[in-house]
Amino acid sequence: MHRFETRVWYEDTDMAGIVYHANYLKFIERARSDALRVHGVDQRAMKADGLVFVVRRMTVEWRAPAVFEDVLTVTTAATQIKRASATLRQIVLRGDQALFAADVQIACMDASGAPVRIPEAALAALRRLGAEG
């Protein structure tokens, strides 16, 4: 499992002073990109080879609000890995309290938008991401 820390900035909040719902997607995107990078996925090299990861499906649950200046931790763990896709479980925490959870299926695609096998090095990194924790 990968842990990514972020802070809620004023720009992340709405007029009620809580994090605007769509901004949780930004938090988990940053954490997911960081998790892949830390575990050995070079997405720039993949793109140079004509391959990218895209979000194929996402299921989300908002549990409690975050507010300005909260320090949040986003955990990311691979829960299912297939040849052309993987599902990652991401949870946004404030301390021990889960505020938001998402199951995100990413897929590997070529430049034409066709699904392709995940490169072996990226598969190994995803397996490491799932094996921890």
Tell me the catalytic residues.
Answer: 14
Q: Burial level of 123, CB count in 10 A (0-12/13-18/19+)?
A: middle
Q: Give strand ranges (E) for the chain.
A: 2-7, 51-62, 71-81, 85-94, 97-110
23 near 14, Cβ under 8 Å?
no
**Maximum Cα–Cα distance across the chain:** 46
62 near 130, Cβ under 8 Å?
no
